[in-house]
Amino acid sequence: MTSKEKTTAGITRRELIKPVSVGLFGFAFLNLFNKPSSGGTENSVILDAVPSDLPPIIIKSGSFTIESDEPLTESGSGTYNYKRLGFKLIQAVRVIKVNEQTGVTETFPFVDVNGIELDIRLQYYVSGSWQPLAQSSLAQIKNETVQGSTNFVLSIAKDLDKKGKSKPRRKEKREDSGSDVFRFGSVVIRGKGTVLPPVIPPTVEGDEYIIGLYNYYTANK
């Protein structure tokens, strides 16, 4: 399948539940990117512009995992910055929200040629309940331009360790290895242009996320 082709078939419950049950991995993982899901809030024009390829950068909840098509540099302490140098602008994103209890999936695609940023609230489980979002730490995804290079930057208050061997098209995988219990409390997409991004509903119990980030969209690949 090329990046300009889309299928119209929905994801079956079996396809959906299996990758969630094994930590968002499995035979249907790519299908989450190249098939529209049922029950989403998708705009067909935007959906067609978001590539159906496996994204160059993928972020997953459960813990906090980032996979990149090129190595990441690390800097800072307390708040860590993970950079994919020379990534260019983030121009397309697909946020996939999956409820592992019900099997319901929602997809939120967005394209902005001027650049895209994301905010992820990391909501911790404290004294038997999830802390208020207002008290949750913020992980931010953005671009920076330094000496003519436009880089992908993840800023997060977690030291993400390198994990395992790289896969084809994946040079690096990092994951939080701490013992804290937390979840993605909310995910917010922000565009740098005038087009309004989709609003992602707040997290409910059982929600997990896969976020695909692209430095291109189908019209200019």
DSSP helix/strand/coil, 79:
coil
- pLDDT tens digits for 54-103? 999 999 998 899 999 999 999 998 899 999 999 999 999 999 999 989 98
Distances in Å between the Cα of 157 and the Cα atoms of 63, 79, 80, 153, 173 are: 13, 4, 6, 13, 17
Candidate from 6-15, 85-94, 95-104, 120-129 with smallest mean pLDDT? 6-15
Rounded-to-integer distance, Cα 163 and Cα 122, Å: 21
Q: Which helix (H) or strand (E) holds 68?
A: strand 65-68
